[in-house]
Structure 1
């Protein structure tokens, strides 16, 4: 995401070294056929991403599901890739399994591969949990990673949700997090791609204003945005390769490289036309459009 004038975006260096200059992609743990990725798959995904440009970070959605961390961390460490780790929170058994997988990965590989930890993803948007419950889970994970044996007290802990879910009702969660992970898709707001930049900027501004109100120490991270290259249109929003390129140039290429950004998504794990395809790579891992910035 890079083109909403850098001056219009939040200025200042990030306090967490692990997150500085983070630029990369969301990556699913499943392959297009629905099966879980192997360690070799993760290694290839990381190698391919590095070949595309100056991309250093990957956001993964889970820790235990599909053995994500057990399989993804070794090649990430080998290739110098940082991971924004997801910890699902839906039910207590799942939450415990996620924490166990994260703890095992830290015990085996240390913590230098971690950009940050997102406790939950779009739970507020889906109505799966309220802000108070999520805040307690953030404190829980922070306590776990901050143990002396891991030395993770400086790892940023946050939550990812849609920009419009980060509002007054989330006050308790704002206070709990080190970073606010913002998901914002002008495409789903049914705007023409020519208005994608200003629509995204408004979401960014609204979220930052709420951060300033409820926890000015928290940092705003852009955890998901993108524009589909194929699939059904959504009102005035048209899914084409040309529009995907326009949104990339207008949004990705305007964000300061000091601003943490994870684009959605490197390669789809579902196939258009049944669903919108947001991946920037085709089935052979070749870019659908030029990923260099103008």
Structure 2
């Protein structure tokens, strides 16, 4: 999630308008005390998101087997009418196999209408934990499995800096869409310039996507934490970033905000605090 770089020059592209873009939140599989979310906990989270002025009914989950994520979350998603951007963790073969098995079991138990799309891996390239060819083969592998039941799109999530690296072109070729993480805060950007920095990162990713859709899978502004260059973490700046970025992005691109809730982390990006109350309430868009 954390990266710093600047764009020297970015060619402008137009962003297509659609009324059918997905808007959602990243949601972790654990509770405040570190315990795994039960189906009841997932139901509570999904209902809180639905109650926001934007009526959020899409979520991104990071993994499939960890904390029995899909086994517990899918029934809650079906009950609340929530669609899931499914994450499949790729690192270490046993974990990867468990992830595929958990996704397959969820589809066999509940069908596939709850699936929005599937992402194979998350910021693996940015961290240097794998190589592009290995990851591309895992994307093909998961696509082959899920397409037995439904032709859902299968992609990968990484930082925009990883996507624009030519060494990772094989992953672009393998992906149906590109999941892009971009944080002006970690690029040391002042809040007044944050929207420009964000859209520059989207444009840079679109320029290498070969016409494939780019989904913003993580962005947000911390409500608390240390300064990052000119970037100041505060609830007021989180509200400004939401108003400047989310309200426009909801009309132009598929986007998943970071994050529904995080706990004792610093910086903290959670829209809901440890007691389940909204940290800021100006989440409506004009």
TM-score > 0.5 by shorter chain: yes
SS in 2 for 1:52: coil
Q: Describe the shift of the 1:203–1:45 C-alpha distance in structure 2 as closer, same or farther (beyond 3 A).
A: same
Higher relative contact order (CA 8 A, sep 6+): 1
Correspondences of 1:36-47 after superposition (within 5 Å): 36-47=36-47
Cα separation, 2, equivalents of 1:47 and 1:264:
17
Cα separation, 1, equivalents of 2:73 and 2:111:
14
Q: Could you tell me which residue of structure 1 aligns to residue 171 of structure 2?
A: 173
2:250 is equivalent to residue 283 of structure 1: no
Q: Tell me if the contact between 1:266 and 1:279 (Cα under 8 Å) persists in the aligned partners.
A: yes
Q: Could you tell me which residue of structure 1 aligns to residue 23 of structure 2?
A: 23
Q: Tell me if the contact between 2:224 and 2:234 (Cα under 8 Å) persists in the aligned partners.
A: yes
2:16 is equivalent to residue 11 of structure 1: yes
- After TM superposition, give the deviation of residue 9 of structure 1 in Å: 5.3
Cα separation, 2, equivalents of 1:9 and 1:223:
20
Consecutive aligned runs of 4 or more in structure 1 exceeding 4 Å deviation: none
SS in 2 for 1:159: strand
- After TM superposition, give the deviation of residue 8 of structure 1 in Å: 6.7
SS in 1 for 2:51: helix
Q: Could you tell me which residue of structure 2 aligns to residue 248 of structure 1?
A: 242
Deviations 1:66-98 (A, max 9, x none): 000000000100111000000000011100000
- After TM superposition, give the deviation of residue 51 of structure 1 in Å: 0.6
Q: Tell me if the contact between 1:231 and 1:277 (Cα under 8 Å) persists in the aligned partners.
A: yes
Q: Tell me if the contact between 2:59 and 2:85 (Cα under 8 Å) persists in the aligned partners.
A: yes
Instruction: State the TM-score, normalizing by the size of structure 1.
Output: 0.89
Cα separation, 2, equivalents of 1:9 and 1:87:
31
Cα separation, 1, equivalents of 2:126 and 2:140:
21
Cα separation, 2, equivalents of 1:27 and 1:71:
13
Q: Could you tell me which residue of structure 1 aligns to residue 284 of structure 2?
A: 292
- Structure 2: which 5+ runs fail to align? 1-11
- Structure 1: which 5+ runs fail to align? 1-6, 15-19
Q: Describe the shift of the 1:61–1:9 C-alpha distance in structure 2 as closer, same or farther (beyond 3 A).
A: farther
Cα separation, 2, equivalents of 1:56 and 1:38:
19
Deviations 1:14-38 (A, max 9, x none): 9xxxxx4311100000112222111
Q: Could you tell me which residue of structure 2 aligns to residue 192 of structure 1?
A: 190
Deviations 1:173-194 (A, max 9, x none): 1111111000000000011111
- After TM superposition, give the deviation of residue 13 of structure 1 in Å: 5.2
- After TM superposition, give the deviation of residue 49 of structure 1 in Å: 0.7
